[in-house]
Amino acid sequence: MESAPAFCLKNQDEAEICLRDLKGAWIILYFYPKDSTPGCTQEACDFTESLPRFETLQAIVLGVSPDSPRSHQNFIAKSDLKITLLSDPTKEVAKAFGAWGEKKLYGKVSEGIIRSTFIIDPQGRIAHAWRRVKVAGHAKEVLETLEKLQKS
């Protein structure tokens, strides 16, 4: 298993969250394109709905997008989210995780966030990765995978 790239990003309250400070916990790190868009809202709501189960498994859920902390605050308030959202305005963290790159939408090629999710184990290693995530049922799949990883 490879180590997760180190990062420090500001959350919705402008507090700095660093991977090194989360050692010892399981981390669900998911990258999404934009606050308050339909797919991203669904994904964030699904993770919020599953949060009690993630917490039972000692897992922290962190969503990452290029949006500002203020945008994250509005998104959290509007959608009643309970998860922590991190701001990656330079997209450096997304790039380090391979969650930034070429995407095709309706035949048009552009650069952007590639919806991706990573389970990081308590030692800071990537235990599982999903790339080009489809939102429907994803949070449930992440939860089931986390349960399996913790049992093995």
Average predicted confidence (pLDDT) for the chain: 96
Question: At 128, which CATH number?
Answer: 3.40.30.10
- Cα torsion angle, 23, 11, 79, 104, sign: negative
**Is the predicted pLDDT of residue 104 greater than 90, yes or no?**
no
pTM: 0.95
What does the pLDDT read at residue 152? 86
Whether residue 1 lies inside any domain: the answer is no
Place of tokens 């790159």: 101
Task: Express as a percent the part of the chain with pLDDT over 90.
Answer: 93
Whether residue 3 lies inside any domain: the answer is no
Mean pLDDT of 18-30: 96
Tally the domains of the chain.
1
Residue type, 80: D
For residue 142, give its domain range. 8-151
Whether residue 59 lies inside any domain: the answer is yes
Residue 18: active-site member: no
- Cα torsion angle, 98, 130, 59, 150, sign: negative
When comparing pLDDT for 104 and 33, which is higher? Answer: 33
- Which of 151, 150, 152 is closest to 59 using CA atoms? 150
Q: How many other C-beta atoms can be found within 10 angstroms of the C-beta atom of residue 78?
A: 11
The catalytic position among 8, 18, 40, 45 is: 40
Whether residue 2 lies inside any domain: the answer is no
Whether residue 19 lies inside any domain: the answer is yes
